[in-house]
Amino acid sequence: MSSLDESLRRILAVDGVRSATLIDLATGMVVRSAGEELPALPSAAASLALEAQAADRVQGPLRPGGDLDEISLVTSERLLLTKVLDARRPGEGLLLFVDVDRARANPALATLRIGQAAPSVLA
């Protein structure tokens, strides 16, 4: 098993997580994915990357509020969490996109657990 598959499986082990996907922030490419297959994942990944870029730019070049850390989208059924990993240079980095089933998890606890496991994905 590849390093990334192993890392993403650790994210899948968090209660309620349906899928975990690594996305290239600069290109929107799906680098690796694990768990349930999302419909139209490549186009969704490209949109997520654009969203992260837009959210980052909202702050302006000096970023008084610091670097973008995560984006949360909450629907009645899901928590869609996008964590920024490895953003060493502006406009570059990797995104960890996690799809959580709210019926099977406490969203706050899932966010905490995913946040704790996220840094080890690239280790």
Which residues are at the interface with other proteins (CB under 8 A)? Answer: 2-4, 7, 22, 24, 26-27, 29-32, 42-43, 46, 53, 56-57, 60-63, 67, 86, 88-92, 94, 121-123
Nearest of 83, 112, 111 to residue 97 by alpha carbon: 83
Q: Under DSSP, is residue 39 helix (H, G, I), strand (E, B) or coil?
A: coil
111-to-1, 35, 71 alpha-carbon distances in Å: 26, 17, 11
Complex with other proteins: residue 42 or 112, whichever CB lies closer: 42
Q: How far is the CB of 108 from other proteins (least distance, A)?
A: 26
Complex with other proteins: residue 29 or 74, whichever CB lies closer: 29
